[in-house]
Amino acid sequence: MTLLKTILACSLAGSLGLALVGCREAKQLEEPPRPVRTIIIKPSAIGEELAQTGEIQAEVETDLGFRIAGRVATRSAEIGATVSKGQVLATLDPSDVQNEVRTAEAEMMSAKAAEQLARSSLDRQRSLFEKQFVARARVEEAEANWRAANARLDVTKSGLLTARNKLTYTELRAPDDAIVSAVAVNAGQVVDAGQSAIKLASTHKRVAVFNVSERLNAAVPLDAKVEVALVSDPSIKVVGTIRDASPTADAATRTYRVRIDLPDAPPAMTLGAAVVGHLVLSSRPLIALPASALTSVEDKPAVFVVQPTSHELLAKPIVVARYTADQVLVESGLSEGDAVVTAGVSKLRPGQKVAYDAGQVAK
């Protein structure tokens, strides 16, 4: 009797369990489609906007050095000073060069006297030859002596000119209007010929200099227009063109230097001022989606697309070109006309039935 009761109880429990499962399945089948917000895909041409920070520099920067070696006597140039063309920036002790000039002058005077004596001798020999008092050989000898003395005079004149030029080399003058950007010598210092002494930045024309990544260096065309604006006052801006780009990357930063011409740059764009360069690259077909539409499948970007016939969700992997603050720009993975879910994607699952409106077309 007890065994019979147990069998009846188990049968009753099994029937009840099957009934509950059937109720749940029925309830699941009867679950209404979940309303979702969607957007209809339509690719459009979208350009990439780039922004890079740089600084204002002089178009021409010159390292000045003395053309001869010597001891620095004076230095009037200071960093940041504005200098004009021809202004003396530093001088060498001229004593030794002045002695060379005096020596060259004395040699020239001696050569000049010798040339005059040789000419007088030649004139006298020619006069005697005309009177047949001397042979032609004496005249020819006098002519040779005069030519030698004349050549010697030319040499001493050139030597004197060189010595006087060398004397001017004891003064370091500004080749043009500029600003002193660096000083490497002081009074009393002994310098070699050509050693960098003072660096000048020309005030005639300025450029904006940027250090860009390899990707940007390869992507930006050389004829691109770049808007350069001051960081401190974005209303002050100039549209310029690329002047030149470094063909090799910096060994330390692995970036490429790009210089932008700044035609008619305002005075506020002083040397060393921080600027931002804005550039829009050529457009290509992309799909702009709100960031709220993004989910993932196997750790890869994806979105939910509503199947038009069954109204079920399909998770589609996508390739993202780039991200913005509130958008995802999709390069591939979607087709024109797809209905992409744009909100609440964290609570959705593939295969789920949804109710949706056609929504707005993506732009």
Q: What is the DSSP string of 294-341?
A: -EEETTEEEEEEE-TTT-BEEEEE-EEEEE-SSEEEEEES--TT-EEE
Is it the case that residue 339 has pLDDT exceeding 60? yes
Write down the pLDDT at residue 291.
Answer: 87
By DSSP bridging, strand 38-40 and strand 360-361 are parallel
Write down the pLDDT at residue 102.
Answer: 96
Cβ neighbours of residue 150 closer than 8 Å, sequence gap 6 or more: 115, 118
As a whole number of angstroms, the distance between CA 65 and CA 192 comes to 9
Q: How confident is the model at residue 27 (pLDDT cuts 50, 70, 90)?
A: very low
The fraction of the chain above a pLDDT of 90, given in percent, is 49
Helices 136-168 and 95-130 meet at what angle, rounded to 10? 160
Is it the case that residue 22 has pLDDT exceeding 60? no
Q: What is the pLDDT of residues 266-280, one digit of tens each?
A: 989 988 899 999 887
Write down the pLDDT at residue 193.
Answer: 94
Q: Token pair for residue 321?
A: 């070109």
Q: Token pair for residue 318?
A: 């996508």
The fraction of the chain above a pLDDT of 70, given in percent, is 88
Q: How far is CA 73 from the centre of its chain?
A: 39
Q: What is the pLDDT of residues 201-252, one digit of tens each?
A: 988 889 999 999 887 887 787 788 899 999 999 999 999 999 998 989 998 9
Residues 117-131 have a mean pLDDT of 92
At 200 the three-state DSSP class reads strand
**28 and 352 in contact (C-beta within 8 Å)?**
no
Write down the pLDDT at residue 196.
Answer: 94
Q: Token pair for residue 28?
A: 């699941």
Is it the case that residue 114 has pLDDT exceeding 60? yes
Q: Is 277 exposed, middle or buried (0-12, 13-18, 19+ CB in 10 A)?
A: buried
As a whole number of angstroms, the distance between CA 148 and CA 160 comes to 18
Write down the pLDDT at residue 18.
Answer: 47
Write down the pLDDT at residue 47.
Answer: 65
Q: Which residues pair with 191 in a beta bridge?
A: 70
Is it the case that residue 146 has pLDDT exceeding 90? yes
As a whole number of angstroms, the distance between CA 161 and CA 18 comes to 120
At 250 the three-state DSSP class reads coil
Domains of the chain: 33-46+284-361 (2.40.420.20), 51-58+203-280 (2.40.30.170), 66-89+175-200 (2.40.50.100), 95-168 (1.10.287.470)
**35 and 356 in contact (C-beta within 8 Å)?**
yes
Determine if the pTM surpasses 0.75: no
Is it the case that residue 115 has pLDDT exceeding 60? yes
